Amino acid sequence: MQKRRLFGSAGFRKKPAANLKSDYYIIGLGNPGSQYEHTRHNAGFDVVSILAGRHKISTRMHMYKARLGRGIIEGKKVLLAMPQTYMNNSGESLREMAHALGIGADKLIVIYDDIDLKEGVVRIKAKGSAGTHNGMKSVIYHLQTDEFVRVRVGIGKPQGEITDHVLGEYADKQAAFEALKMAADAVEAIIGQGVYEAQNRFN
């Protein structure tokens, strides 16, 4: 069996795949690297980090081209993941993970930024297209399904170049942080109450 290459820090740990099987797989989309930290396009990473902090989940494992953390949220076993493939290739990581762990689409929750929502707005979507988001296009392409739950964090439409907007920092950092915390609340509600109850609350 070919040994998987470790990405990033030598401090990352590996665990047998059997130990990673979970009730829910929570995937935050973003770009690796300090230059992208807390930019609009990294909303998914930031929400996963908030969840990890709240529930004391270490995300120091590195497998399937992603940073991973295993823990409990709302009484359910969860695997937190932040793909390290860069945004436009996020689906490569999810495909490896889904294949190795036998993940069904009904167990996935994907979190990402959305320019089609006003900054600060959070919406839960049970399934559907990727819209204009390249990371989501990659996820749907590699998983060959769009039948999974997603939590969308609004970052607003750009006034100028879209790349500058999504890779830029929030204009109102405090308001953005409140929205990211709300998105983490939404993930907890999906796990604890189900997607339709969560939609009624957050949409």
pLDDT of residue 37: 95
Query: Does residue 20 have a pLDDT over 60?
Result: yes
Distance (Å, rounded) from C-alpha 61 to C-alpha 39?
23
Determine contact, residues 87/29, Cβ cutoff 8 Å: yes
> What is d(CA 90, CA 23) in angstroms, rounded to the nearest whole number?
21
Which residues have CB under 8 Å from 69's CB, separation 6+?
A: 52, 57, 58, 59, 60, 61, 79, 80, 81
End-to-end CA distance of the chain: 46
The pLDDT assigned to 18 comes to 60
Q: Taking 50 as the threshold, does the pLDDT of residue 129 lie above it? A: yes
Q: Using pLDDT thresholds of 50, 70 and 90, give the confidence band for residue 8.
A: very low
pLDDT score, position 2: 38
Can you list the domains of the chain with their CATH numbers? 19-202 (3.40.50.1470)
Residue 133: per-residue pLDDT? 94
Q: Is the pLDDT of residue 82 over 50?
A: yes
**What's the average model confidence in pLDDT over 186-191?**
98
Show which residues are catalytic. Answer: 41
- What local confidence, expressed as pLDDT, does residue 159 receive? 81
Q: How many CA atoms lie within 13 A of 33 on its CB side?
A: 8
For residue 40, pLDDT over 50 is answered with yes
Sheet with 108-114: list strands edge to edge.
61-63, 66-73, 76-83, 24-28, 108-114, 149-154, 122-125
Question: How confident is residue 11, by pLDDT bands cut at 50, 70 and 90?
Answer: very low
Q: What is the pLDDT of residue 184?
A: 98
| pLDDT higher than threshold 90 for residue 17 | no
> Cα dist. 189→25, 135, 147, 179, 195 in Å?
14, 24, 19, 15, 8
pLDDT for 132? 87
Q: Using CA atoms, how far apart are residues 187 and 112, in angstroms rounded to an integer?
A: 12
Q: Do the beta carbons of residue 7 and residue 84 sit within 8 Å?
A: yes
- Range among 17-26, 55-64, 151-160, 163-172 with highest mean pLDDT value: 55-64
